[in-house]
Structure 1
Amino acid sequence: MNQSTLIEIFETIPVLLFAFVAHEWGHAYAALKQGDPTAYNAGRLTFNPLVHIDPFRTILIPTILLALGGVAVGGAKPCPVNPSLYRNYKRGDIIVNLAGVSMNLLVAIASTILFFGVGLLGQALPGADNVLTVVQDMLELSVTYNLLLLFLNVLPIPGFDGAHVLMHYFPPKVASFYRQAEPLSLFFLFALISFAGGAFSMLITPAFVLRDLFMHPVLPFALGIQ
Protein backbone atom coordinates (compact mmCIF):
# COMPACT_ATOMS: atom_id res chain seq x y z
CA MET A 1 0.00 0.00 0.00
CA ASN A 2 1.61 3.29 -1.09
CA GLN A 3 1.63 6.59 0.78
CA SER A 4 -1.07 8.25 -1.35
CA THR A 5 -3.46 5.36 -0.65
CA LEU A 6 -2.81 5.65 3.09
CA ILE A 7 -3.47 9.40 2.95
CA GLU A 8 -6.70 8.76 1.05
CA ILE A 9 -7.83 6.23 3.67
CA PHE A 10 -7.05 8.56 6.59
CA GLU A 11 -8.89 11.44 4.88
CA THR A 12 -11.87 9.38 3.73
CA ILE A 13 -12.74 7.26 6.78
CA PRO A 14 -13.62 10.25 9.06
CA VAL A 15 -15.66 11.78 6.23
CA LEU A 16 -17.53 8.53 5.66
CA LEU A 17 -18.08 8.06 9.38
CA PHE A 18 -19.71 11.48 9.69
CA ALA A 19 -21.84 10.81 6.60
CA PHE A 20 -23.04 7.50 8.09
CA VAL A 21 -23.74 9.10 11.48
CA ALA A 22 -25.67 12.00 9.93
CA HIS A 23 -27.74 9.53 7.92
CA GLU A 24 -28.70 7.45 10.95
CA TRP A 25 -29.30 10.55 13.08
CA GLY A 26 -31.78 11.68 10.43
CA HIS A 27 -33.69 8.42 10.75
CA ALA A 28 -33.69 8.63 14.56
CA TYR A 29 -34.85 12.26 14.62
CA ALA A 30 -37.60 11.72 12.07
CA ALA A 31 -38.83 8.59 13.87
CA LEU A 32 -39.10 10.50 17.15
CA LYS A 33 -41.04 13.28 15.42
CA GLN A 34 -43.40 10.67 13.94
CA GLY A 35 -44.12 9.23 17.39
CA ASP A 36 -41.54 6.42 17.68
CA PRO A 37 -39.01 6.90 20.52
CA THR A 38 -37.23 3.56 19.89
CA ALA A 39 -34.03 5.05 18.46
CA TYR A 40 -34.06 7.86 21.02
CA ASN A 41 -34.38 5.37 23.87
CA ALA A 42 -31.52 3.34 22.36
CA GLY A 43 -29.25 6.39 22.48
CA ARG A 44 -29.09 6.76 18.69
CA LEU A 45 -30.28 10.38 18.52
CA THR A 46 -26.70 11.61 18.80
CA PHE A 47 -23.73 12.51 16.63
CA ASN A 48 -21.43 10.45 18.85
CA PRO A 49 -19.98 8.01 16.28
CA LEU A 50 -19.30 5.29 18.84
CA VAL A 51 -22.98 4.37 19.16
CA HIS A 52 -23.44 4.14 15.39
CA ILE A 53 -20.31 2.19 14.39
CA ASP A 54 -20.62 -1.31 13.01
CA PRO A 55 -17.02 -2.63 12.79
CA PHE A 56 -17.75 -4.55 9.58
CA ARG A 57 -19.98 -2.10 7.67
CA THR A 58 -18.48 1.16 8.96
CA ILE A 59 -14.75 0.44 9.14
CA LEU A 60 -13.66 -2.83 7.53
CA ILE A 61 -15.56 -2.73 4.22
CA PRO A 62 -14.75 0.92 3.35
CA THR A 63 -11.07 0.47 4.29
CA ILE A 64 -10.70 -2.66 2.15
CA LEU A 65 -12.41 -1.01 -0.82
CA LEU A 66 -10.20 2.07 -0.54
CA ALA A 67 -7.06 -0.07 -0.23
CA LEU A 68 -8.10 -1.87 -3.42
CA GLY A 69 -8.45 1.46 -5.20
CA GLY A 70 -12.24 1.46 -5.33
CA VAL A 71 -15.01 3.75 -4.18
CA ALA A 72 -15.75 3.20 -0.49
CA VAL A 73 -19.25 2.04 0.36
CA GLY A 74 -20.61 0.83 3.67
CA GLY A 75 -22.88 1.98 6.44
CA ALA A 76 -23.50 2.34 10.15
CA LYS A 77 -25.57 0.14 12.43
CA PRO A 78 -29.16 0.35 11.17
CA CYS A 79 -31.23 2.72 13.26
CA PRO A 80 -33.83 0.79 15.30
CA VAL A 81 -37.39 1.93 14.60
CA ASN A 82 -40.88 0.64 15.35
CA PRO A 83 -43.15 1.81 12.52
CA SER A 84 -46.24 0.61 14.40
CA LEU A 85 -45.73 3.60 16.73
CA TYR A 86 -45.90 6.18 13.94
CA ARG A 87 -48.95 8.41 14.18
CA ASN A 88 -49.61 7.71 10.50
CA TYR A 89 -47.93 4.46 9.45
CA LYS A 90 -47.47 5.06 5.71
CA ARG A 91 -46.66 8.76 5.94
CA GLY A 92 -44.35 8.23 8.91
CA ASP A 93 -42.48 5.35 7.29
CA ILE A 94 -41.87 7.35 4.11
CA ILE A 95 -40.68 10.40 6.07
CA VAL A 96 -38.35 8.37 8.29
CA ASN A 97 -36.80 6.51 5.35
CA LEU A 98 -36.22 9.72 3.39
CA ALA A 99 -34.80 11.54 6.42
CA GLY A 100 -31.44 9.78 6.20
CA VAL A 101 -30.75 10.78 2.60
CA SER A 102 -32.09 14.28 3.35
CA MET A 103 -29.37 14.62 6.00
CA ASN A 104 -26.75 13.50 3.48
CA LEU A 105 -27.95 16.19 1.08
CA LEU A 106 -27.75 18.83 3.82
CA VAL A 107 -24.21 17.72 4.77
CA ALA A 108 -23.15 17.91 1.10
CA ILE A 109 -24.52 21.46 0.85
CA ALA A 110 -22.86 22.48 4.13
CA SER A 111 -19.55 20.95 2.99
CA THR A 112 -19.69 22.96 -0.24
CA ILE A 113 -20.24 26.19 1.69
CA LEU A 114 -17.42 25.34 4.11
CA PHE A 115 -15.11 24.56 1.16
CA PHE A 116 -15.73 28.11 -0.06
CA GLY A 117 -15.17 29.53 3.44
CA VAL A 118 -11.91 27.63 3.92
CA GLY A 119 -10.74 28.94 0.55
CA LEU A 120 -11.36 32.52 1.66
CA LEU A 121 -9.57 31.81 4.94
CA GLY A 122 -6.61 30.38 3.04
CA GLN A 123 -6.35 33.54 0.96
CA ALA A 124 -6.28 35.61 4.15
CA LEU A 125 -3.80 33.26 5.88
CA PRO A 126 -1.40 32.05 3.18
CA GLY A 127 0.90 30.49 5.78
CA ALA A 128 -1.81 27.99 6.69
CA ASP A 129 -2.14 26.61 3.16
CA ASN A 130 -0.90 23.11 3.96
CA VAL A 131 -3.41 22.46 6.73
CA LEU A 132 -6.32 24.19 4.99
CA THR A 133 -5.68 22.28 1.76
CA VAL A 134 -6.18 19.01 3.65
CA VAL A 135 -9.39 20.42 5.14
CA GLN A 136 -10.62 21.32 1.65
CA ASP A 137 -9.72 17.86 0.38
CA MET A 138 -11.85 16.32 3.12
CA LEU A 139 -14.73 18.71 2.46
CA GLU A 140 -14.69 17.78 -1.24
CA LEU A 141 -14.72 14.11 -0.22
CA SER A 142 -17.66 14.93 2.05
CA VAL A 143 -19.62 16.36 -0.87
CA THR A 144 -18.80 13.32 -3.00
CA TYR A 145 -19.59 10.63 -0.45
CA ASN A 146 -22.72 12.22 0.97
CA LEU A 147 -24.19 12.53 -2.51
CA LEU A 148 -23.06 8.98 -3.29
CA LEU A 149 -24.80 7.73 -0.12
CA LEU A 150 -27.91 9.64 -1.13
CA PHE A 151 -28.14 8.00 -4.54
CA LEU A 152 -27.12 4.56 -3.26
CA ASN A 153 -29.78 4.60 -0.57
CA VAL A 154 -32.61 5.50 -2.93
CA LEU A 155 -31.85 2.49 -5.14
CA PRO A 156 -34.67 -0.10 -4.96
CA ILE A 157 -32.41 -2.70 -3.32
CA PRO A 158 -34.03 -4.68 -0.47
CA GLY A 159 -33.12 -3.10 2.85
CA PHE A 160 -32.26 0.29 1.34
CA ASP A 161 -34.31 3.41 2.05
CA GLY A 162 -35.60 3.65 -1.50
CA ALA A 163 -36.98 0.12 -1.32
CA HIS A 164 -38.71 0.88 2.00
CA VAL A 165 -40.51 3.80 0.37
CA LEU A 166 -41.44 1.85 -2.77
CA MET A 167 -42.77 -1.10 -0.75
CA HIS A 168 -45.80 1.03 0.07
CA TYR A 169 -46.65 1.02 -3.65
CA PHE A 170 -45.56 -2.53 -4.57
CA PRO A 171 -48.01 -5.43 -4.99
CA PRO A 172 -48.26 -7.36 -1.68
CA LYS A 173 -46.21 -10.35 -2.91
CA VAL A 174 -43.38 -8.13 -4.13
CA ALA A 175 -43.42 -6.13 -0.89
CA SER A 176 -43.31 -9.38 1.10
CA PHE A 177 -40.26 -10.57 -0.90
CA TYR A 178 -38.49 -7.26 -0.23
CA ARG A 179 -39.15 -7.51 3.51
CA GLN A 180 -37.79 -11.06 3.65
CA ALA A 181 -34.72 -10.11 1.60
CA GLU A 182 -33.74 -7.10 3.75
CA PRO A 183 -31.01 -8.97 5.71
CA LEU A 184 -29.25 -9.59 2.37
CA SER A 185 -29.01 -5.92 1.42
CA LEU A 186 -25.19 -5.81 1.34
CA PHE A 187 -25.10 -9.06 -0.64
CA PHE A 188 -27.37 -7.53 -3.29
CA LEU A 189 -25.22 -4.40 -3.42
CA PHE A 190 -21.94 -6.26 -3.85
CA ALA A 191 -23.53 -8.60 -6.40
CA LEU A 192 -24.59 -5.54 -8.38
CA ILE A 193 -21.09 -4.05 -8.16
CA SER A 194 -19.36 -7.36 -9.01
CA PHE A 195 -21.56 -8.72 -11.78
CA ALA A 196 -23.20 -5.62 -13.22
CA GLY A 197 -20.53 -2.99 -12.74
CA GLY A 198 -21.60 -1.04 -15.81
CA ALA A 199 -25.18 -0.82 -14.61
CA PHE A 200 -24.01 0.15 -11.12
CA SER A 201 -21.80 2.92 -12.54
CA MET A 202 -24.73 4.23 -14.54
CA LEU A 203 -26.98 4.21 -11.45
CA ILE A 204 -24.54 6.26 -9.37
CA THR A 205 -23.49 8.64 -12.18
CA PRO A 206 -26.08 11.24 -11.04
CA ALA A 207 -24.21 11.50 -7.73
CA PHE A 208 -21.04 12.61 -9.51
CA VAL A 209 -22.94 14.91 -11.88
CA LEU A 210 -24.54 16.62 -8.88
CA ARG A 211 -21.15 16.72 -7.12
CA ASP A 212 -19.70 18.60 -10.09
CA LEU A 213 -22.63 21.04 -10.04
CA PHE A 214 -22.05 21.68 -6.34
CA MET A 215 -18.29 22.09 -6.64
CA HIS A 216 -18.01 24.04 -9.91
CA PRO A 217 -18.86 27.48 -8.41
CA VAL A 218 -16.41 27.07 -5.50
CA LEU A 219 -13.45 25.44 -7.27
CA PRO A 220 -11.84 28.85 -7.99
CA PHE A 221 -11.39 29.07 -4.21
CA ALA A 222 -9.55 25.74 -4.00
CA LEU A 223 -6.19 26.18 -2.31
CA GLY A 224 -3.07 24.97 -4.07
CA ILE A 225 -4.38 25.89 -7.53
CA GLN A 226 -2.22 28.44 -9.26
Structure 2
Amino acid sequence: MTTATSRHSDRRISPVFLGIVAVMAVTGWAVWTDFAASPGVAVFLFVTSAWIVSLCLHEYGHARTALHSGDISIGTKGYLTLNPLKYTHALLSIVLPVVFVIMGGIGLPGGAVFIERGRIRGRWKHSLISAAGPLTNVLFALVCTAPFWLHALDGVPMVFRFALAFLGLLQITAAILNFLPVPGLDGYGVIEPWLSYKIRRQVEPFAPFGLLAVFGVLFIPEVNLAFFEAIDTILRGLGISEVETYCGQEFYRFWQTDGRCEAIVSQ
Protein backbone atom coordinates (compact mmCIF):
# COMPACT_ATOMS: atom_id res chain seq x y z
CA MET A 1 0.00 0.00 0.00
CA THR A 2 1.35 3.41 -0.98
CA THR A 3 1.42 5.89 1.89
CA ALA A 4 1.60 9.67 1.86
CA THR A 5 5.11 9.44 3.32
CA SER A 6 6.37 7.18 0.53
CA ARG A 7 4.78 9.39 -2.12
CA HIS A 8 6.53 12.39 -0.58
CA SER A 9 9.90 10.62 -0.62
CA ASP A 10 9.33 9.59 -4.26
CA ARG A 11 9.07 13.27 -5.18
CA ARG A 12 11.71 14.79 -2.90
CA ILE A 13 14.43 16.52 -4.92
CA SER A 14 17.58 14.40 -4.91
CA PRO A 15 20.75 15.64 -3.17
CA VAL A 16 22.59 14.60 -6.35
CA PHE A 17 20.57 17.07 -8.40
CA LEU A 18 20.93 19.78 -5.77
CA GLY A 19 24.69 19.21 -5.82
CA ILE A 20 24.77 19.71 -9.60
CA VAL A 21 22.71 22.90 -9.23
CA ALA A 22 25.17 24.10 -6.57
CA VAL A 23 28.10 23.51 -8.93
CA MET A 24 26.25 25.45 -11.63
CA ALA A 25 25.58 28.35 -9.25
CA VAL A 26 29.13 28.53 -7.89
CA THR A 27 30.83 28.24 -11.28
CA GLY A 28 28.35 30.70 -12.80
CA TRP A 29 29.31 33.16 -10.07
CA ALA A 30 33.00 32.47 -10.82
CA VAL A 31 32.45 33.24 -14.51
CA TRP A 32 30.46 36.39 -13.71
CA THR A 33 33.00 37.79 -11.25
CA ASP A 34 36.08 36.57 -13.14
CA PHE A 35 37.07 34.92 -9.87
CA ALA A 36 38.68 31.85 -11.45
CA ALA A 37 42.34 31.96 -12.48
CA SER A 38 41.32 30.36 -15.78
CA PRO A 39 37.97 31.61 -17.13
CA GLY A 40 37.87 28.66 -19.52
CA VAL A 41 37.78 26.14 -16.67
CA ALA A 42 34.97 28.08 -14.98
CA VAL A 43 33.00 28.27 -18.24
CA PHE A 44 33.51 24.54 -18.81
CA LEU A 45 32.19 23.65 -15.36
CA PHE A 46 29.33 26.14 -15.55
CA VAL A 47 28.08 25.09 -18.98
CA THR A 48 28.52 21.36 -18.27
CA SER A 49 26.65 21.50 -14.97
CA ALA A 50 23.91 23.68 -16.51
CA TRP A 51 23.66 21.22 -19.40
CA ILE A 52 23.25 18.30 -16.98
CA VAL A 53 20.56 20.27 -15.10
CA SER A 54 18.71 20.75 -18.39
CA LEU A 55 18.98 17.02 -19.16
CA CYS A 56 17.48 16.22 -15.76
CA LEU A 57 14.64 18.68 -16.37
CA HIS A 58 14.10 17.17 -19.83
CA GLU A 59 13.59 13.72 -18.35
CA TYR A 60 11.53 15.16 -15.49
CA GLY A 61 9.24 16.76 -18.08
CA HIS A 62 8.54 13.34 -19.61
CA ALA A 63 8.03 11.74 -16.21
CA ARG A 64 5.81 14.42 -14.69
CA THR A 65 3.57 14.51 -17.75
CA ALA A 66 3.31 10.73 -17.71
CA LEU A 67 2.34 10.81 -14.03
CA HIS A 68 -0.53 13.22 -14.68
CA SER A 69 -1.54 11.19 -17.72
CA GLY A 70 -2.08 8.01 -15.76
CA ASP A 71 1.26 6.24 -15.17
CA ILE A 72 1.33 6.26 -11.36
CA SER A 73 4.38 3.97 -11.35
CA ILE A 74 6.63 6.91 -12.28
CA GLY A 75 7.19 7.97 -8.65
CA THR A 76 8.47 4.60 -7.49
CA LYS A 77 11.10 4.61 -10.25
CA GLY A 78 12.66 7.76 -8.78
CA TYR A 79 12.20 9.89 -11.89
CA LEU A 80 10.45 12.69 -10.00
CA THR A 81 13.46 13.25 -7.75
CA LEU A 82 15.48 14.70 -10.66
CA ASN A 83 18.27 12.26 -9.80
CA PRO A 84 20.14 11.48 -13.04
CA LEU A 85 21.29 8.18 -11.56
CA LYS A 86 17.68 6.95 -11.55
CA TYR A 87 17.15 7.17 -15.29
CA THR A 88 16.70 3.98 -17.26
CA HIS A 89 19.52 4.92 -19.63
CA ALA A 90 21.98 6.95 -17.58
CA LEU A 91 24.60 6.51 -20.31
CA LEU A 92 22.32 7.89 -23.03
CA SER A 93 20.67 10.49 -20.79
CA ILE A 94 23.75 12.02 -19.18
CA VAL A 95 27.15 10.64 -20.20
CA LEU A 96 26.86 10.66 -24.01
CA PRO A 97 25.20 14.10 -24.17
CA VAL A 98 28.05 15.58 -22.12
CA VAL A 99 30.66 13.82 -24.28
CA PHE A 100 29.07 15.17 -27.48
CA VAL A 101 29.01 18.69 -26.05
CA ILE A 102 32.72 18.42 -25.27
CA MET A 103 33.59 16.91 -28.65
CA GLY A 104 31.42 18.88 -31.04
CA GLY A 105 29.22 21.43 -29.33
CA ILE A 106 26.02 19.57 -30.23
CA GLY A 107 23.09 19.17 -27.84
CA LEU A 108 22.61 15.42 -28.06
CA PRO A 109 19.09 14.22 -27.20
CA GLY A 110 19.10 12.12 -24.05
CA GLY A 111 17.61 8.70 -23.48
CA ALA A 112 14.01 8.30 -22.38
CA VAL A 113 12.68 7.39 -18.96
CA PHE A 114 10.75 4.12 -18.88
CA ILE A 115 7.04 4.91 -19.09
CA GLU A 116 4.35 2.24 -18.80
CA ARG A 117 2.36 3.35 -21.82
CA GLY A 118 -0.31 0.73 -21.21
CA ARG A 119 -1.52 2.73 -18.22
CA ILE A 120 -2.19 5.80 -20.37
CA ARG A 121 -5.33 6.31 -22.41
CA GLY A 122 -5.68 8.83 -25.20
CA ARG A 123 -3.43 9.63 -28.15
CA TRP A 124 -3.05 13.28 -27.16
CA LYS A 125 -1.64 12.25 -23.78
CA HIS A 126 0.94 10.00 -25.39
CA SER A 127 1.98 12.79 -27.77
CA LEU A 128 2.22 15.32 -24.95
CA ILE A 129 4.43 13.00 -22.88
CA SER A 130 6.88 12.74 -25.78
CA ALA A 131 6.78 16.49 -26.45
CA ALA A 132 7.29 17.49 -22.81
CA GLY A 133 11.05 16.78 -22.84
CA PRO A 134 12.09 18.88 -25.86
CA LEU A 135 9.64 21.60 -24.82
CA THR A 136 11.66 21.81 -21.62
CA ASN A 137 14.76 22.43 -23.75
CA VAL A 138 12.88 25.19 -25.59
CA LEU A 139 11.98 26.82 -22.27
CA PHE A 140 15.58 26.49 -21.03
CA ALA A 141 16.80 28.06 -24.29
CA LEU A 142 14.45 31.02 -23.84
CA VAL A 143 15.76 31.56 -20.30
CA CYS A 144 19.42 31.38 -21.43
CA THR A 145 18.87 33.76 -24.32
CA ALA A 146 16.51 36.16 -22.53
CA PRO A 147 19.21 38.80 -21.84
CA PHE A 148 19.91 38.92 -25.59
CA TRP A 149 16.37 39.20 -26.98
CA LEU A 150 15.31 41.46 -24.11
CA HIS A 151 18.33 43.71 -24.81
CA ALA A 152 19.31 43.45 -21.16
CA LEU A 153 23.04 42.89 -21.55
CA ASP A 154 24.20 46.06 -19.82
CA GLY A 155 26.44 45.01 -16.96
CA VAL A 156 26.67 41.38 -18.07
CA PRO A 157 30.36 40.37 -18.16
CA MET A 158 31.58 39.41 -21.63
CA VAL A 159 32.70 35.87 -20.73
CA PHE A 160 29.40 35.12 -18.97
CA ARG A 161 27.61 36.43 -22.05
CA PHE A 162 29.59 34.06 -24.26
CA ALA A 163 28.81 31.13 -21.92
CA LEU A 164 25.06 31.88 -22.06
CA ALA A 165 25.20 32.11 -25.86
CA PHE A 166 26.85 28.69 -26.13
CA LEU A 167 24.43 27.18 -23.62
CA GLY A 168 21.54 28.59 -25.64
CA LEU A 169 22.97 26.97 -28.77
CA LEU A 170 23.09 23.60 -27.00
CA GLN A 171 19.48 23.87 -25.89
CA ILE A 172 18.26 24.82 -29.35
CA THR A 173 20.15 21.97 -31.04
CA ALA A 174 18.78 19.53 -28.44
CA ALA A 175 15.21 20.74 -29.00
CA ILE A 176 15.45 20.54 -32.79
CA LEU A 177 17.11 17.11 -32.84
CA ASN A 178 14.62 15.76 -30.30
CA PHE A 179 11.67 16.97 -32.35
CA LEU A 180 12.82 15.19 -35.51
CA PRO A 181 10.19 12.56 -36.46
CA VAL A 182 12.78 9.80 -36.40
CA PRO A 183 12.12 6.48 -34.61
CA GLY A 184 13.75 6.53 -31.19
CA LEU A 185 13.47 10.30 -30.81
CA ASP A 186 10.77 12.31 -29.10
CA GLY A 187 9.51 13.75 -32.38
CA TYR A 188 8.54 10.29 -33.53
CA GLY A 189 6.91 9.69 -30.15
CA VAL A 190 4.70 12.71 -30.79
CA ILE A 191 3.34 11.34 -34.07
CA GLU A 192 3.47 7.61 -33.27
CA PRO A 193 0.05 7.44 -31.53
CA TRP A 194 -1.55 8.76 -34.72
CA LEU A 195 0.01 6.13 -37.00
CA SER A 196 -1.63 2.86 -37.91
CA TYR A 197 -0.71 -0.28 -36.01
CA LYS A 198 0.86 -1.74 -39.17
CA ILE A 199 3.18 1.24 -39.65
CA ARG A 200 4.19 1.24 -35.98
CA ARG A 201 5.12 -2.44 -36.15
CA GLN A 202 7.17 -1.90 -39.31
CA VAL A 203 9.05 1.05 -37.82
CA GLU A 204 9.64 -0.40 -34.34
CA PRO A 205 12.80 -2.43 -35.19
CA PHE A 206 14.56 0.74 -36.36
CA ALA A 207 13.97 2.72 -33.15
CA PRO A 208 17.29 1.73 -31.46
CA PHE A 209 19.22 3.05 -34.47
CA GLY A 210 17.35 6.33 -35.02
CA LEU A 211 19.73 8.51 -33.06
CA LEU A 212 22.78 6.93 -34.70
CA ALA A 213 21.23 7.53 -38.10
CA VAL A 214 20.65 11.21 -37.32
CA PHE A 215 24.25 11.74 -36.32
CA GLY A 216 25.45 9.75 -39.27
CA VAL A 217 23.54 12.11 -41.55
CA LEU A 218 24.92 15.12 -39.66
CA PHE A 219 28.43 13.99 -40.57
CA ILE A 220 27.60 14.69 -44.22
CA PRO A 221 29.25 18.10 -44.78
CA GLU A 222 26.34 19.59 -46.73
CA VAL A 223 23.79 18.51 -44.13
CA ASN A 224 25.98 19.67 -41.25
CA LEU A 225 26.41 23.09 -42.87
CA ALA A 226 22.67 23.47 -43.51
CA PHE A 227 21.84 22.36 -39.96
CA PHE A 228 24.15 24.85 -38.26
CA GLU A 229 23.11 27.62 -40.64
CA ALA A 230 19.54 27.01 -39.46
CA ILE A 231 20.73 27.11 -35.83
CA ASP A 232 22.61 30.36 -36.47
CA THR A 233 19.48 31.87 -38.05
CA ILE A 234 17.44 31.04 -34.95
CA LEU A 235 20.15 32.43 -32.67
CA ARG A 236 20.39 35.65 -34.66
CA GLY A 237 16.62 35.97 -34.32
CA LEU A 238 17.15 35.77 -30.56
CA GLY A 239 19.80 38.48 -30.68
CA ILE A 240 22.88 36.23 -30.44
CA SER A 241 25.69 36.71 -32.91
CA GLU A 242 27.89 34.00 -34.39
CA VAL A 243 30.89 35.53 -32.62
CA GLU A 244 29.21 35.10 -29.23
CA THR A 245 28.45 31.41 -29.73
CA TYR A 246 31.90 30.84 -31.24
CA CYS A 247 33.63 32.45 -28.27
CA GLY A 248 31.38 30.58 -25.86
CA GLN A 249 32.52 27.30 -27.37
CA GLU A 250 36.13 28.49 -27.45
CA PHE A 251 36.11 29.30 -23.73
CA TYR A 252 34.32 26.00 -23.05
CA ARG A 253 36.99 24.02 -24.88
CA PHE A 254 39.73 25.88 -23.04
CA TRP A 255 42.34 23.19 -23.72
CA GLN A 256 42.51 24.08 -27.42
CA THR A 257 41.61 27.77 -27.59
CA ASP A 258 43.40 29.94 -30.16
CA GLY A 259 43.38 33.06 -27.97
CA ARG A 260 41.21 35.22 -30.24
CA CYS A 261 38.29 35.34 -27.83
CA GLU A 262 40.55 36.21 -24.91
CA ALA A 263 41.73 39.14 -27.02
CA ILE A 264 38.13 40.26 -27.56
CA VAL A 265 37.47 40.20 -23.81
CA SER A 266 40.63 42.12 -22.99
CA GLN A 267 39.86 44.94 -25.44
8 Å CA contact 2:182, 2:210 repeated in 1: yes
Calculate the aligned-residue CA RMSD, in Å: 3.4
Structure 1 residue runs without a partner (length 5+): 123-128
Is the aligned partner of 1:99 residue 2:119?
no
Instruction: Sort the Cα spacing of 1:18 and 1:61 in 2 relative to 1 into closer, same or farther, 3 A.
Output: closer
Output the amino acid matched with 1:157: V
User: Of 40, 47, 61, which aligns to 2:82?
Assistant: 47
Alpha-carbon offset, residue 190 of structure 1: 2.7
Corresponding residue number in structure 1 for 2:118? 84
Total equivalences in the alignment? 207
Q: 1:106 to 1:56 in 2, by over 3 A?
A: closer
- Name the counterpart of 1:72: 106
Deviation of residue 61 (structure 1)?
A: 5.8
Q: Offset at 1:8?
A: 6.6
* SS of corresponding position for 1:93: helix
**Contact kept in structure 2, 1:5 and 1:66, CA below 8 Å:** no
Q: Quickly say closer, same or farther: Cα 1:61–1:76, change in 2 above 3 A.
A: closer
In structure 2, distance between residues paired with 1:86 and 1:110: 31
Q: Which amino acid letter does the alignment assign opposite residue 103 of structure 1?
A: T
Cα distance in 2 between the residues matched to 1:31 and 1:214: 31
Contact map agreement 1:152 1:204 (CA 8 A) in 2? no
Counterpart CA distance in 2 for 1:225 and 1:167 is 52
Q: Which of 159, 165, 187 is the equivalent residue of 1:140?
A: 165
Q: Deviations over 1:56-91 (max 9, x none)?
A: 653356436634xx2334344421111221242x11
Identical positions, percent: 20
- Structure 2 gaps of 5+ residues are 1-37, 245-263
1: CA distance between counterparts of 2:265 and 2:152? 12
Q: How far, CA to CA, are the matches of 1:15 and 1:140 in structure 2? A: 13
Deviates more, 1:184-193 or 1:149-158: 184-193
User: Given the alignment, which residue of 53, 62, 84 partners 1:27?
Assistant: 62
Equivalent position of 2:95 in the other structure = 59
Q: 1:32 to 1:150 in 2, by over 3 A?
A: same
SS in 2 for 1:72: coil
CA distance in 2, matches of 1:84, 1:155: 24
For residues 122-201 of structure 1, what are the structure 2 equivalents within 5 Å?
122=156, 129=157, 133-194=158-219, 196-201=220-225
8 A Cα contact 2:107 2:172, kept in partner: no
Tell me which residue corresponds to 1:38. Answer: 73
The offset of 1:142, in angstroms, is 2.3
| Contact 1:27–1:97 (CA under 8 A) maintained in structure 2 | yes
* Larger Rg, first or second structure (1 or 2): 2
The CA deviation at 1:7 is: 7.1
Q: With structure 2 as the length reference, what TM-score do the two structures score?
A: 0.63
Aligned ranges 1:196-211 → 2 under 5 Å = 196-203=220-227, 205-211=229-235
Who is 1:112 aligned against?
A: 145
AA aligned opposite 2:239:
M
CA distance in 1, matches of 2:188, 2:119: 20
Deviations 1:82-111 (A, max 9, x none): 1221242x1111010111111111111111
Cα deviation, 1:133-178, whole Å, max 9, x if unaligned, reads: 4433332222111111111011122100111222234454432232
